[in-house]
Amino acid sequence: MRLDKFLKVSRLIKRRTVANSVCDSARVFVNNNPAKPSKQLKIGDIITIEYKDFSKSYKVLSIPNNNVSINEAKELYEEIQLQ
């Protein structure tokens, strides 16, 4: 699944167009590499999103085939703390 679609489906970012613009501004990293919106994700990938004053990292636990419910969206990733 594409990175921008995963960010939207998992509800880490509310809209796919916003996910595209965040990726294009080099604030999203996959496995510590800047990622384009078209990056194909795999289970186990680490997504890091840089916000204004902080960043958050998530581990991909599952790749859905299509849209999922709010409860299922939380099961697609796990927030991790990086040292």
Read off the pLDDT of each residue in 27-31 and give the average, rounded to a whole number: 95
**Per-residue pLDDT tens digits for 37-82:** 999 999 999 999 998 888 999 999 999 988 888 889 889 999 998 6
Give residue 60's Cα distance to chain centre.
Answer: 8
Name the pTM for this structure: 0.90
Task: Please give the domain boundaries of the chain with CATH numbers for all domains.
Answer: 3-80 (3.10.290.10)
